[in-house]
Amino acid sequence: MTFRPLHSQVAIRRIDPVETTSGGIIIPGNAQEKPAEGEVIAVGPGARNEQGVIVPPDVKPGDRVLFGKWSGTEVKIDGVDLLIMKESDILGVLKGAKKAHPAATGESHAA
């Protein structure tokens, strides 16, 4: 199944960082806060301005973004947990960020 957000909505997959303390202790996932960082999976065509013209979104699929802690609506599509939120809920795009490890995003190494 494919998913296409409408208007200024954006679909984001959370990126779960592997957290360790300065002493090297790995913090279990249930003790961590939900990450506020993710990868844009799909974007809508954009919102209409006051003149009725569609303003294209600033983010694109593949961008790594930061968003508010309580932003978006959690959904599961084809077994993948996604967040659907307005583009305006995105705080910024991370430039030069390393790609998330496949295990952290739920992807497998096999193609």
* Per-residue confidence (pLDDT) for residue 33, from 0 to 100: 60
Instruction: Give the pair of three-digit tokens for residue 105.
Output: 């995003």
Has this prediction a pTM greater than 0.85? no
Per-position pLDDT tens, the chain of length 111:
788 999 999 999 998 765 655 666 666 555 456 668 999 999 999 999 999 999 999 999 999 999 988 889 999 998 999 999 999 999 999 987 665 544 444 444 343
Homologous superfamily (CATH) of 1-16+35-92 is GroES chaperonin (2.30.33.40)
* Per-residue confidence (pLDDT) for residue 16, from 0 to 100: 73
Owner of token pair 């200024």: 8
Give me the DSSP letters along 20-48: B-TTSPBPPGGGSPPPSEEEEEEE-S-EE
Instruction: Give the pair of three-digit tokens for residue 63.
Output: 């961008």
* Per-residue confidence (pLDDT) for residue 82, from 0 to 100: 93
User: What residue spans define the domains of the chain?
Assistant: 1-16+35-92
